[in-house]
Amino acid sequence: MPAAAPLFNPKVHLAYQKRKAILTMKDIKLDPSPISQVASTDPFQLLSNEGVKAFRRELFSKNVLENCSFPTRPGSVQLRGMAPRYAPFTYQFWTSLEVLGIIRDLAGVDLVPVFDHEIAHTNIQLGPHGLDGVKDTPSKKETSKPVVPWHRDSYPFVCVVMLSDTTSMIDGETEMAKGDGSTVKVRSPTMGGAVIMQGRHVSHIAIPAGNMPERITLVTSFRPRDPIIVDDSSLMNVRTKSLLPEIYYQWVSYRLRLLGERFKDEADKLNARYTDAVALTDEAKPGFCRKETVDFDGLTNWMDEQMRYMRQTLFEMRPVTDEDNINKNYIPRID
């Protein structure tokens, strides 16, 4: 049986226009980040009209709404954990070479989605009548509370994409805290536009939008592809709005794979030092090395770092009980 045709077509769904400027960590008076000096990009166009339609069609499909909706606060809903099971286009988009290349170039570091469950987390600010009333225009008073309060993200980088028409929008920016106690606002992207932010290291808030019937944003989270780069991800902000058995599996799986890559890299470095040391012996043969190749202090520090990473992996989880095995807001269906 031939493979199914791809749903994502970069020639149809992308309309990328490179951002005009970026804010660095130094610009907002914060300490340097171990990952990248990019704090946030200016908004840039990412999606074509067809791309916006494709995302909206999939996100508001019956399966996604019935299986992946998490009410948060009055007037706000989150969609989580839809890819790839219920949202194959969304999954193909965020794992494509074309999109990952754009993210890498703007973030200043090679990034990949943290894991599938965090692909296209969707924040939805609705009018007073919920999903059935998206044609109603909420007043300023009705949207006075932030969509998301002051926080730092669970993961190193995010790409936020606007899926709503912002022509008449009032406010709706992202406000970032600077190191000197002041703040700076990053204007909201227009429909199909995006912003990339190092949200784990920059405290920020989503200012509510007024004078529009909805505000729908995709938030896909990223971590460095290189396993050696610092990864201080956390589940704190997302644990209560996730299907716990699924997110715990994906969390532990990626952390174990990353640890395996780190251990292999360290073993390769040790082997290279040993090979160099053996080359200095009389016969250049292994088995009788007289030069020390193990850096005990360095190895101790490295192992302490990995053990901290392992302990943090466990700390971010809580035992799943029969009562919360299925999140009360998450009602699974059998396809």
Q: Residue 306: how many CB atoms within 10 A of its CB?
A: 13
3-class state of residue 188 by DSSP: coil
Q: Are residues 119 and 262 in the same domain?
A: no
Average pLDDT for runs of 10 along the chain of length 335: 71 88 91 93 95 95 92 81 96 98 96 97 74 44 57 93 86 86 87 94 82 84 96 91 93 98 98 92 83 95 97 94 54 36
Does a structural domain hold residue 320?
no
Task: Give the domain range for residue 258.
Answer: 250-315
Rounded distance between C-alpha atoms, residue 107 and residue 104, angstroms: 5
In a domain, 103, yes or no: yes
Question: Which DSSP letter does residue 324 get?
Answer: T
Based on the fold, state whether residues 220 and 254 are members of the same structural domain: no
Indicate whether 241 belongs to any domain: no
Q: Which helix (H) or strand (E) holds 253?
A: helix 244-279
pTM as predicted = 0.86
Amino acid at position 71, single letter: P
Under the phi-then-psi rule, with left for phi > 0, alpha for psi from -120 to 50, and beta for the rest, what region is 311?
A: alpha
Residue 24, domain member (yes or no): yes
Task: For residue 125, report the phi and psi dihedrals to the nearest 5 degrees.
Answer: -100, 120
Q: Are residues 81 and 198 in the same domain?
A: yes
Q: Is residue 244 part of a domain?
A: no
pLDDT given at position 135: 36
49-59 vs 88-95: helix crossing angle, rounded to 10: 130
Same domain, 16 and 111: yes
Is residue 111 situated within a structural domain? yes
CATH number, domain of 180, equals: 2.60.120
**Is there a domain that residue 30 lies in?**
yes
Q: What is the tally of structural domains in the chain?
A: 2
Give yes or no: residues 181 and 303 share one domain: no
Give the pLDDT score at 332.
Answer: 37
Q: What is residue 267's predicted lDDT score, i.e. its pLDDT?
A: 98
SS3 (DSSP) at 66: helix
Residues 274 and 189 in one domain: no
Q: With contact defined as beta carbons under 8 Å apart, do 37 and 24 qualify?
A: yes
179 and 287 both lie in a single domain? no
183 and 303 part of one domain: no
171 and 122 assigned to the same domain: yes
| Structure tokens, 220 | 């896909």
**335 lies in a domain?**
no
Same domain, 17 and 52: yes
Same domain, 220 and 257: no
pLDDT at 127: 60
The per-residue pLDDT for 134 is 41
What is the structure's pLDDT at 67?
Answer: 93
